[in-house]
Amino acid sequence: MMVIGIAAIAAVLVAIVTGFVFRAEQRPVYEAQPMPSVRVGDPGHNLVGPDWSGLGRPGGSEGGAAQE
Amino acid sequence: MARMKFLCDADRCIECNACVTACKNEHEVPWGINRRRVITLNDGRPGERSVSMACMHCTDAPCAAVCPVDCFYTTADAVVLHSKELCIGCGYCFYACPFGAPQYPNVGNFGSRGKMDKCTYCAGGPAPDNSEAEFAAYGRNRLAEGKLPLCAEMCSTKSLLAGDGEIIAQIYRTRVLQRGYGTSAWGWQTAYRETIAI
Amino acid sequence: MGRIGAFLRLGLTLCALVLIATPAPAQHGRDVPPGAATGAPSGANPTAQAVTEEQLFREMRKLEGRVTIPDSKAAILQQPQGRDYRAFHEGVLPWIGGIVVLGMLVALIAFYLYRGRITLEGVEETGVKITRFNAFERFTHWMTAVSFIVLALTGLNYVFGKRLLFPLLGPDAFASWSQWAKYAHNAFAWPFMIGLALMIVMWIKDNLPQRGDGTWLRQFGGFMSGRHPPAGRFNAGQKLIFWAVALGGLALAASGLVMLFPFTTFDINGMQIAQYVHGIAGMLLTAVIIAHIYIGTLGMEGAYNAMGTGEVDLGWAKTHHSLWVSSQQRRAERGTPLGRRAGAQMGR
In sequence order, the β-bridge partners of residue C129 are C313
CA proximity to A33, closest of C75, C161, B159: C75
- Report pLDDT for A51: 62
- Report pLDDT for B85: 95
Instruction: Please list, in sequence order, all residues whose beta carbon lies within 8 angstroms of the beta carbon of residue B188, skipping any fewer than 6 positions away.
Output: B5, B7, B194, B195, B196
**How far from C47 is each of B12, B157, C158, CA to CA, in Å?**
11, 17, 47
Smallest CA–CA distance from B31 into chain A, residue: A30
Cα separation, C254 vs C270, in Å, equals: 12
Cα separation, C327 vs C313, in Å, equals: 16
CA proximity to B191, closest of B8, B61, B72: B61
Contact C228, C215 (CB under 8 A): no
| Residue A53 distance to chain B (closest CA, Å) | 30
Residue C298: pLDDT above 60?
yes
Q: Is B181 on the interface with A (CB under 8 A)?
A: no
- Kindly report the length of chain C: 348
Interface size, chain B vs chain C, as Cβ–Cβ contacts under 8 Å: 174
Contact C143, C197 (CB under 8 A): no
Q: Note whether B30 contacts A23, CB cutoff 8 Å.
A: no
Cα separation, B186 vs B6, in Å, equals: 10
User: What pLDDT band is residue B109 in, cutting at 50, 70 and 90?
Assistant: low
Residue B153: pLDDT above 70?
yes
- Report pLDDT for C340: 37
Partners of A11 on chain C (C-beta within 8 Å) are 143, 146-147, 150, 188, 191-192, 195
- Report pLDDT for A60: 45
Contact C51, B42 (CB under 8 A): yes
> pLDDT tens across C194-242, in order?
999 999 999 999 999 998 899 899 888 888 777 888 889 999 999 999 9
> pLDDT tens across A4-46, in order?
999 999 999 999 999 998 888 888 888 887 776 665 565 555 5
Q: Note whether C191 contacts A35, CB cutoff 8 Å.
A: no
Q: Where are the domains of chain C?
A: 204-333
Residue C339: pLDDT above 50?
no
Does the CA dihedral C320-C321-C322-C325 come out positive or negative? negative
Q: Note whether B190 contacts C90, CB cutoff 8 Å.
A: no
> pLDDT tens across C135-145, in order?
999 999 999 99
**How far from A33 is each of A22, A36, B32, CA to CA, in Å?**
18, 10, 8
Q: Choose from A18-32, B179-193, C73-87, C221-235 the range with maximum mean pLDDT.
A: C73-87
CA proximity to C286, closest of C141, C154, C148: C148
Residues of chain B numbered 117-156 and touching chain A (CB < 8 Å): none
Contact B155, C23 (CB under 8 A): no
User: What pLDDT band is residue C125 in, cutting at 50, 70 and 90?
Assistant: confident
Beta strands in B35-168 (DSSP E): 37-41, 49-53, 72-74, 80-82, 160-164
| Residue A3 distance to chain C (closest CA, Å) | 6
Higher pLDDT, C102 or C23: C102
What are the backbone angles phi and psi of residue B28, rounded to the nearest 5°? 50, 55
User: What pLDDT band is residue C333 in, cutting at 50, 70 and 90?
Assistant: confident
CATH number for domain C204-333, candidates 3.90.180.10, 1.20.1250.20, 1.20.950.20, 3.20.20.190: 1.20.950.20
User: What pLDDT band is residue B157 in, cutting at 50, 70 and 90?
Assistant: very high
User: What pLDDT band is residue B179 in, cutting at 50, 70 and 90?
Assistant: confident
Mean pLDDT of B85-111: 90
- Report pLDDT for C208: 95
Amino acid of residue B15: E
Amino acid of residue C283: M
Contact A64, A56 (CB under 8 A): no
Instruction: Please list, in sequence order, all residues whose beta carbon lies within 8 angstroms of the beta carbon of residue A31, skipping any fewer than 6 positions away.
Output: A40, B107
> pLDDT tens across C2-40, in order?
566 666 666 565 655 555 544 444 444 455 555 555 555
Q: Where are the domains of chain B?
A: 4-192
User: What pLDDT band is residue B38 in, cutting at 50, 70 and 90?
Assistant: very high
**How far from C39 is each of B48, C34, C35, C219, CA to CA, in Å?**
17, 11, 9, 85
Cα separation, C186 vs A17, in Å, equals: 12
Q: Is B177 on the interface with A (CB under 8 A)?
A: no
Q: Choose from B40-49, B70-79, B182-191 the range with maximum mean pLDDT.
A: B70-79
Residue C274: pLDDT above 50?
yes
In chain C, pLDDT over 70 holds for what percent of residues?
82
- Report pLDDT for C40: 53
Smallest CA–CA distance from A37 into chain C, residue: C70
In chain B, pLDDT over 90 holds for what percent of residues?
80
In sequence order, the β-bridge partners of residue A28 are B106
Higher pLDDT, C316 or C89: C89
Contact C304, C133 (CB under 8 A): no
- CATH 3.10.200.10 holds for B4-192: no
Q: Which of C156, C178, C259 to mutate to test the interface with B (most CBs of B within 10 A)?
A: C178
Neighbours of chain C (3+ CB pairs under 8 A): A, B
Residue B57: pLDDT above 70?
yes
Partners of B103 on chain A (C-beta within 8 Å) are 29
Residue B110: pLDDT above 70?
no
Higher pLDDT, C340 or C193: C193
Q: Note whether B10 contacts C50, CB cutoff 8 Å.
A: yes
Judged by average pLDDT, the poorest of A50-54, B170-174, C227-231 is A50-54
